Chains A and B, each alone.
Chain A
Amino acid sequence: MSCAAITRPSTEPDFILRSRGRVGMFALIAAESAIFTIFVVAYIFYIGKSVSGPKPKDVLDLPIFSTVCLLSSSLTIHLAVRALRNAKVGAFGSWWFVTIALGAIFLVGTAREWQRLIFEKGLTVSTNLFGTTYYSLVGLHAFHVTVGLIVLAIGMIFALLGKVKQEHSERTEILSLYWHFVDVVWVIVFTVVYVIGR
Chain B
Amino acid sequence: MASETIALNLVKLGTRPIGDRLHNWVVTVDHKKLGILYILYALMFLVIGGIEATIIRIQLIVPHNHFVSAEVFNRMFTMHGTTMIFFVTMPILFGFGTYLIPLMIGARDMAFPRLNALSFWLTAFGGLLLYYSFIGGSGLYGAGEAPDVGWFAYAPLTARAFSPGHSTDFWTLGLLVSGFGSIGTAVNFITTILCMRCPGMTLGKMPLLAWMNLVMAGMVILAVSPLTAAQLMLSIDRYLGGHFFDAQAGGSAVLWMHFFWIFGHPEVYILVIPAFAFVSEIIPVFSRKPIFGYPVMVAATVCIGFVSMSVWAHHMFTVGMSSYGNTFFVITTMMVGIPTGIKIFNWIGTMWGGKIQFNAPMLFCIAFLFQFLLAGLTGIMLSAAPFNWQLTASYFVVAHFHYMLVGAILFAIFGAFYYWFPKMSGRMYNETLAKWHFWLFLIGFHLTFDFMHIPGILGMPRRIYTYEPGRGWEIWNLIVTIGVVFQIAGVVAFVINMLRSPVKGESAGNDPWDAWTLEWSTSSPPHDYNFARIPVIRSRRPLWDLKHPEDPDWKYE
Interfacial residues, chain A to chain B (CB-CB below 8 A): 1-10, 12, 15, 17-20, 23-24, 27-28, 30-35, 37-39, 42, 45-46, 49-51, 124-126, 128-129, 131-133, 136, 140
Asked whether B244 lies within 8 Å of A42 as measured between CB atoms, the reply is yes
Kindly state the separation between the CA atoms of A6 and B521 in the bound complex, as whole angstroms: 9
Mask, B514-528, CB within 8 Å of A = 1, is 000000011100010
Kindly state the separation between the CA atoms of A132 and B7 in the bound complex, as whole angstroms: 65
Residues of A near B225 (CB, < 8 A) are 31-35, 38
Closest to A40 in B: B229
Which of B222, B229, B255, B542 contacts A7, CB < 8 Å? B542
B9 beta carbon closer than 8 Å to chain A: yes
Most A CB contacts (10 A, CB to CB) among B9, B183, B198, B229 go to: B229
Kindly state the separation between the CA atoms of A16 and B241 in the bound complex, as whole angstroms: 53
B538 beta carbon closer than 8 Å to chain A: yes
Which of A35, A128, A131, A136 contacts B228, CB < 8 Å? A35
Closest to B521 in A: A5
Residues of A near B10 (CB, < 8 A) are 1-2
Which of A5, A33, A37, A49 contacts B546, CB < 8 Å? A5
8 A Cβ contacts from B476-510 to A: none
Residues of B near A136 (CB, < 8 A) are 232-233, 236, 242, 244
B194 beta carbon closer than 8 Å to chain A: yes
Kindly state the separation between the CA atoms of A3 and B3 in the bound complex, as whole angstroms: 12
Asked whether B546 lies within 8 Å of A7 as measured between CB atoms, the reply is yes
Residues of B near A8 (CB, < 8 A) are 1-3, 536, 538
Closest to A136 in B: B236
Q: List 19 A-B contacts (CB under 8 A).
A: A2-B10, A3-B523, A6-B533, A6-B535, A7-B1, A7-B535, A7-B545, A9-B2, A17-B196, A20-B195, A24-B191, A27-B187, A30-B221, A31-B187, A31-B224, A38-B226, A126-B242, A132-B244, A136-B242
Kindly state the separation between the CA atoms of A64 and B6 in the bound complex, as whole angstroms: 66
**Could you tell me the distance in whole angstroms from the C-beta of B396 to the nearest C-beta in chain A?**
31
Residues of B near A132 (CB, < 8 A) are 236-237, 242-244
B409 beta carbon closer than 8 Å to chain A: no
Closest to A19 in B: B195
**For the side of the interface on B, what is the size category?**
35 or more
Kindly state the separation between the CA atoms of A80 and B194 in the bound complex, as whole angstroms: 28
Residues of A near B125 (CB, < 8 A) are none
Residues of A near B230 (CB, < 8 A) are 38
Mask, B265-285, CB within 8 Å of A = 1, is 000000000000000000000
Asked whether B195 lies within 8 Å of A125 as measured between CB atoms, the reply is no
Kindly state the separation between the CA atoms of A7 and B539 in the bound complex, as whole angstroms: 11
Residues of B near A45 (CB, < 8 A) are 252, 255
Closest to A45 in B: B255
Most A CB contacts (10 A, CB to CB) among B6, B188, B200, B221 go to: B221
Q: Other than A1-B7, A5-B521, A10-B536, give 19 A-B pairs with Cβ distance below 8 A.
A: A6-B533, A7-B545, A8-B1, A15-B200, A17-B197, A18-B194, A24-B190, A27-B186, A30-B221, A31-B224, A31-B225, A34-B221, A34-B222, A38-B225, A42-B255, A51-B249, A126-B240, A128-B250, A132-B243
